[in-house]
Amino acid sequence: MLTAMDESSLPALTHQVLGAAFGLAVLFGALCQRTRFCTMGAISDVYTMGDWRRARMWVVAVAVAMLGFNGLVALGQLDPAASIYAGPRLLWLSAALGGLVFGFGMVLSSGCISRNLVRLGGGSLKSLVVLAVAAIAAGATLRGLTAVLRVATVEKVFVDLPAGQALPGLVAAVLPGGAAAWGLGLAVLVAVALLAWALLPRAGRSLEVALAGLGVGALVTALWWVSGHLGFLPEDPRTLEPVYLATNSRHMESLSTIAPVAYALDWLLLFSDQSKTLTLGIASVAGIVVGAALMAWREGSFRWEGFGNVGDLGLHLVGAACMGVGGIVAMGCSIGQGVTGVSTLSLGSFIALAAMVVGAWLALRYQEWRLG
């Protein structure tokens, strides 16, 4: 973070932020390709086989990201109120309904958005179609037809929380101690419980669980630092206002994929429009694909994959549309809310995550009924 800079230095710093985001996303994509880290896959493994290994990966990632984010806050590196997850308006119905729809869709689409980015890097043309449809649906829900419906319906239902919806702020409002101290304390308490559940059993003490969990959690933390510290200017020389460089939300951001795939499609379609600039989210989705492709090439696992039949295509199209709409309504995907958002101890993120799990479970039940 710089306290002051002239306008001529902004491009260099912006390129640093974008380059760091791309590099971290490459590592994320390679890691997910190597370990098969996937939220939907974790739920499916538990449901169909009683296999908790990928669920333990995800739990470890959440715990590490939670400790990382709140540790950076305690060190004064980040402002916890500067993320979209900490706002004072708790859109609980949006989080619940959007999460439910997203969770249902990610099962029909054979994976969430981040998993489809990874599979695209591995040669899946099915994922290319899923991502294109999800991006269109997400873009419409951000600013188009379904955006009007979103604002007129589910976003009318909310609870105002003056202290913000992050648990540390809510606790600090009624008990002694600052929000940063409570954040670190709550993060340690929750993270230790999660790590104990994930790692103490023999099944949790495997190289893949540790590699995926620690790696994903550390990368989410690192991207928080890149956006919230490296890319933060207390005074933008152009506007004299605080600014988080290269973000679409104008807040600090970390790993998320549903809105960024919509922004990436918009950037590609309107590339000649100088108002459409490269952002941290766009760089991240590109990096995930590149990282997965590099790892697939190294493993020798790259192969082209298409749809088996029209029914397969139809299910994936419906799932992609559900993820596009549901992810925007819920303000994030299974990574954006399920790891990044939860790392901030946001009440809305916990609601969205729980709804995604329920939605995925319902979709698995539907698939079971349909095939039976």
Q: What pLDDT digit, counting tens, does each position of 329-339 carry?
A: 999 999 999 99
In percent, the amount of the chain with pLDDT more than 70 equals: 98
Separation CA 88–CA 93 (nearest Å): 15
pLDDT of residue 1: 46
Average pLDDT over residues 366-370: 92
300-320 residue pLDDT tens: 999 999 999 999 999 999 999
Average pLDDT over residues 203-220: 91
Average pLDDT over residues 142-159: 96
Separation CA 100–CA 90 (nearest Å): 17
Q: How confident is the model at residue 212 (pLDDT cuts 50, 70, 90)?
A: very high
Q: Is 36 exposed, middle or buried (0-12, 13-18, 19+ CB in 10 A)?
A: middle
On the question of pLDDT at 4 being above 60, the answer is no
72-125 residue pLDDT tens: 999 999 999 999 999 999 999 999 999 999 999 999 999 999 999 999 999 999
Backbone angles phi, psi at 274, to 5 degrees: -65, -15
Domain spans in the chain, listed from the N-terminal domain onward: 7-371
Instruction: Report the mean per-residue pLDDT for the chain.
Output: 94
Residue 203 to residues 51, 194, 302: CA-CA distances in angstroms? 9, 15, 29
pTM as predicted: 0.95
